[in-house]
Protein backbone atom coordinates (compact mmCIF):
# COMPACT_ATOMS: atom_id res chain seq x y z
CA UNK A 1 0.00 0.00 0.00
CA UNK A 2 1.50 3.39 -0.96
CA UNK A 3 2.29 5.82 1.81
CA UNK A 4 0.00 8.77 2.27
CA UNK A 5 1.59 12.11 1.33
CA UNK A 6 2.37 14.47 4.17
CA UNK A 7 -0.08 16.98 2.68
CA UNK A 8 -2.88 14.40 2.73
CA UNK A 9 -1.98 13.40 6.28
CA UNK A 10 -2.06 17.02 7.47
CA UNK A 11 -5.38 17.77 5.76
CA UNK A 12 -7.07 14.61 7.04
CA UNK A 13 -5.80 15.10 10.60
CA UNK A 14 -6.94 18.72 10.74
CA UNK A 15 -10.40 17.78 9.50
CA UNK A 16 -10.64 14.75 11.82
CA UNK A 17 -9.57 16.68 14.93
CA UNK A 18 -11.90 19.58 14.11
CA UNK A 19 -14.85 17.21 13.71
CA UNK A 20 -13.97 15.25 16.89
CA UNK A 21 -14.04 18.53 18.81
CA UNK A 22 -17.33 19.49 17.12
CA UNK A 23 -15.91 22.76 15.82
CA UNK A 24 -16.96 24.50 12.60
CA UNK A 25 -14.43 25.55 9.99
CA UNK A 26 -15.51 29.11 10.68
CA UNK A 27 -14.67 28.84 14.40
CA UNK A 28 -11.28 27.22 13.82
CA UNK A 29 -10.42 29.72 11.09
CA UNK A 30 -11.36 32.61 13.37
CA UNK A 31 -9.23 31.23 16.21
CA UNK A 32 -6.30 30.66 13.82
CA UNK A 33 -6.74 34.10 12.19
CA UNK A 34 -7.10 32.64 8.70
CA UNK A 35 -9.98 32.79 6.23
CA UNK A 36 -12.54 29.98 6.36
CA UNK A 37 -12.14 29.28 2.64
CA UNK A 38 -8.39 28.88 3.18
CA UNK A 39 -9.01 26.35 5.97
CA UNK A 40 -11.43 24.53 3.69
CA UNK A 41 -8.69 24.35 1.05
CA UNK A 42 -6.25 22.97 3.62
CA UNK A 43 -8.73 20.29 4.71
CA UNK A 44 -9.42 19.22 1.13
CA UNK A 45 -5.73 19.20 0.19
CA UNK A 46 -6.09 22.04 -2.31
CA UNK A 47 -3.97 24.38 -0.19
CA UNK A 48 -0.52 23.69 1.18
CA UNK A 49 -0.21 25.62 4.46
CA UNK A 50 3.08 26.88 5.83
CA UNK A 51 4.43 25.42 9.06
CA UNK A 52 3.46 28.63 10.83
CA UNK A 53 -0.15 28.31 9.64
CA UNK A 54 -0.23 24.63 10.69
CA UNK A 55 0.98 25.75 14.12
CA UNK A 56 -1.83 28.34 14.36
CA UNK A 57 -4.42 25.76 13.28
CA UNK A 58 -3.13 23.29 15.89
CA UNK A 59 -3.38 25.96 18.58
CA UNK A 60 -6.90 26.82 17.40
CA UNK A 61 -7.81 23.13 17.69
CA UNK A 62 -6.24 22.89 21.16
CA UNK A 63 -3.72 20.20 20.19
CA UNK A 64 0.04 19.96 19.97
CA UNK A 65 1.30 20.55 16.43
CA UNK A 66 2.68 16.99 16.41
CA UNK A 67 -0.95 15.71 16.34
CA UNK A 68 -1.37 17.31 12.92
CA UNK A 69 1.51 15.24 11.48
CA UNK A 70 0.71 11.86 13.09
CA UNK A 71 0.16 8.90 10.75
CA UNK A 72 -3.50 7.85 10.45
pLDDT tens-digit profile of 34-45?
A: 999 999 999 999
**1 has a pLDDT exceeding 70:** no
Q: How confident is the model at residue 8 (pLDDT cuts 50, 70, 90)?
A: very high
Short-list 3, 6, 14, 20, CA closest to 53: 14
Task: Quote the pLDDT of residue 13.
Answer: 98
Neighbours of 62 (CB within 10 A): 12
Residue 56 binned pLDDT confidence (cut-offs 50, 70, 90): very high
Q: Alpha-carbon distance 72 to 56, whole Å?
A: 21
Q: Which CATH fold would you assign to the domain 6-69?
A: 434 Repressor (Amino-terminal Domain) (1.10.260)
- Whole-number pLDDT of residue 2: 60
Domain ranges of the chain: 6-69
21 and 28 Cβ atoms separated by less than 8 Å: no
Amino acid sequence: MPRMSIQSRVSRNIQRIRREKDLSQEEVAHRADIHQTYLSGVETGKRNPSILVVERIAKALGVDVSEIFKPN
